[in-house]
């Protein structure tokens, strides 16, 4: 691992990045010390405050280079190989494909770092940006030294696809070995119900449908009750101790009934939002329904633990925790950019970096959810790796707008598939079967997801079921329950939603476009 050329430090909230003075394998300035070890470990210590550290490698980058990065949390249809763009922030890792030589190299950081890490690539070199802030202000390390990140350098593995797979393998090498996972397949009602106008009867119909379509497969599918089951309604917060009266009077009974039908019950919740007033709100957040909670208050973690214990006691076997990044940062991924959140606020505990706080939250959820299948949605994949079973890697697909499914679902699957079974089980989001979207295209997405072996959830509107949709859904569900196939996007260097995919049985072509003159709402 080659040593950095330069280091820059921003100590306080208003300070500019200033060059640190080198001395051997350490750099110091403004009361901050940065160290480098031969295995790529970056240490940061400070007697007082620290906000950011920039680590620079000076080297020429070919103008023929295409660059790929990851995303802060979910992707939003924005993952792609792109020409050199010095201001483009590349979260967690990057690959550089030199079109002249055909080689692909890159750099990244191990999962579960103590900083939010991103890269920029320009013609004269590479910069690693370590965001060590606490919320919107500096972290008060108070003499503590933390391992901010462990840097990895990636060599060419033969093709860009093989290089990305090797890179993800390297960044996750310190995680405990994942046991052979059971395929995660099931029903989720969000993309036809959208959190409204459903009750226990509809949930049990979903469970019966997924069991019917699985057709006796020995691996049991899940049936997930998504947002809209608790009294706050769609998108609201807790408390998560009861269902909507008259619609979900007995959640334990609902879970038992799902099991009786032959499916495994799952439940959605939003752990860091509350409809109740109290002293543990996140500073600087007054927008939206409810009150965002600050997880550096011990009482907030107590609430989250109690929620997960309750869901398990009710009999649910899968829990999807959602919206925590938004409730922490007040922004979704595309708006986070180089400054993750608004300035002028800090968490209740200002002595830990935001990355450390997020990691601690995920660890608490993992421990409290022992025995549950955990899905992270709107969670930070590079921090959640090893702490969730399943990760929603892209923004929402749609049961109303096919183009959203193509943009979000296909893009996420194509560019993040190497993370599957290394960081977590990948979930590119649901396949919709609704009257508002064309089945001829949704069935192609179903086929691709099923072949990938990643998580497959289907949202089946009873009004959209036909003999043909049932046959297609059954084929896809049983393939996914059997573990899928091995697939690789072939045109991903030039296409954000690849159409040509290599499988073990040959190349498969998917035309994702609506036929000219077609009605987008036609099923």
pLDDT tens digits, 313-325: 999 999 999 999 9
Residues 6 or more apart whose CB falls under 8 angstroms from that of 286 comprise none
Report pLDDT digits (tens) over 331-358. 999 999 999 999 999 999 999 999 999 9
pLDDT over threshold 90, residue 177: no
Predicted pLDDT of residue 289: 63
pTM: 0.96
Residue ranges per structural domain of the chain = 6-171, 185-497
Tell me the C-alpha distance between 520 and 402, whole Å: 7
Q: For residue 302, give both structure tokens.
A: 């107590």
Q: Is the pLDDT of residue 286 over 60?
A: no
**Residue 319 falls in which region: left (phi positive, over 0), alpha (psi -120 to 50) or beta:** beta
Per the prediction, the chain carries an average pLDDT of 95
CA gap 235, 227 in Å, rounded: 7
Q: How many CB atoms lie within 10 A of CB 99?
A: 14
Contact, 449 vs 431, CB < 8 A? yes
Q: How far apart are CA 414 and CA 363, in angstroms?
A: 28
Strand, helix or coil at 479? Answer: helix
User: In angstroms, rounded to a whole number, what is the distance separating the alpha carbons of residues 4 and 11?
Assistant: 20
pLDDT in tens, 290-320: 789 999 999 999 999 999 999 999 999 999 9
Backbone torsion region of residue 421, taken as left when φ is above 0, otherwise alpha when ψ lies between -120 and 50, otherwise beta: left
* Cα–Cα distance for residue pair 203/259, rounded to 1 Å: 12
Instruction: Give the pair of three-digit tokens for residue 347.
Output: 């968490």
Q: Is 130 helix (H, G, I), strand (E, B) or coil?
A: strand
Instruction: Give the model confidence (pLDDT) of 378-428 as tens digits.
Output: 999 999 999 999 999 999 999 999 999 999 999 999 999 999 999 999 999
Q: Does residue 303 sit in helix, strand or coil?
A: helix
| 30 vs 365, residue with greater confidence | 365
Cα–Cα distance between 457 and 434 in angstroms, integer?
14
**Whole-angstrom distance, CA of residue 111 vs CA of residue 270:** 24
- 185-497, which class in CATH? alpha beta
pLDDT in tens, 3-31: 999 999 999 988 899 999 999 999 999 99
């Amino acid at each position: 691992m080659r040593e950095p050329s330069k280091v820059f430090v921003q100590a306080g909230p208003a300070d500019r990045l200033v060059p640190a003075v080198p001395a051997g394998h350490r750099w110091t300035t403004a009361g901050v010390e940065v160290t480098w070890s031969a295995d790529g470990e970056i240490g940061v210590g400070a007697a007082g405050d620290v906000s950011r550290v920039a680590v620079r490698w000076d080297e020429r980058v070919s103008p023929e280079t295409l660059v790929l990065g990851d995303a802060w949390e979910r992707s939003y249809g924005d993952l792609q190989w792109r020409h050199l763009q010095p201001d483009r922030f590349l979260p967690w890792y990057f690959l550089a494909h030199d079109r002249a030589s055909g080689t692909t190299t890159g750099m990244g950081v191990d999962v579960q770092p103590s900083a939010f890490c991103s890269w920029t690539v320009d013609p004269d070199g590479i910069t690693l940006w370590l965001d060590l802030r606490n919320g919107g202000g500096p972290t008060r390390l108070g003499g503590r030294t933390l391992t901010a990140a462990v840097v990895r350098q990636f060599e060419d593995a033969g093709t860009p696809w093989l290089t990305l797979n090797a890179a993800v393998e390297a960044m996750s090498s310190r995680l405990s070995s994942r046991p052979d996972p059971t395929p995660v397949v099931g029903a989720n009602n969000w993309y036809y119900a959208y959190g409204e106008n459903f009750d226990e009867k509809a949930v049990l119909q979903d469970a019966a449908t997924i069991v019917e379509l699985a057709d006796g497969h020995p691996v049991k599918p899940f049936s997930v009750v998504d947002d809209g089951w608790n009294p706050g309604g769609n998108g609201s917060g807790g408390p998560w101790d009861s269902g909507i009266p008259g619609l979900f009077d007995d959640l334990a009974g609902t879970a038992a009934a799902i099991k009786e039908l032959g499916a495994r019950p799952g439940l959605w919740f939003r752990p860091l939002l509350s409809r109740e007033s109290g002293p543990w709100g996140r500073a600087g957040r007054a927008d939206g329904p409810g009150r965002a909670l600050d997880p550096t208050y011990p009482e907030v973690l107590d609430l989250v633990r109690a929620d997960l214990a309750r869901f398990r006691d009710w009999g649910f076997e899968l829990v999807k925790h959602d919206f925590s990044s938004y409730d922490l940062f007040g922004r979704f991924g595309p708006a986070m950019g180089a400054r993750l959140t608004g300035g002028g606020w800090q968490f209740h505990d200002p002595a830990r970096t935001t990355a450390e706080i997020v990691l601690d939250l995920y660890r608490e959820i993992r421990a409290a959810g022992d025995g549950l299948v955990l899905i992270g949605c709107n969670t930070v994949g590079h921090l959640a790796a090893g702490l969730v079973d399943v990760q929603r890697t892209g923004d929402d697909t749609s049961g109303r707008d096919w183009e959203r499914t193509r943009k979000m679902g296909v893009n996420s699957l194509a560019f993040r598939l190497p993370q599957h079974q290394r960081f977590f089980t990948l979930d590119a989001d649901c396949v919709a079967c609704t009257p508002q979207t064309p089945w001829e295209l949704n069935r192609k997405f179903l086929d691709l997801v099923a072949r990938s072996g990643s998580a497959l959830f289907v949202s089946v509107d009873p009004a959209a079921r036909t003999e043909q949709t049932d046959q297609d859904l059954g084929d896809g569900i049983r393939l996914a329950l059997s573990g899928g196939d091995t697939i690789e996007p072939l045109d991903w260097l030039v296409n954000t939603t690849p159409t040509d995919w290599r499988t073990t049985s040959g190349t498969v072509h998917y035309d994702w476009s609506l036929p000219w003159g077609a009605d987008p709402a036609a099923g």
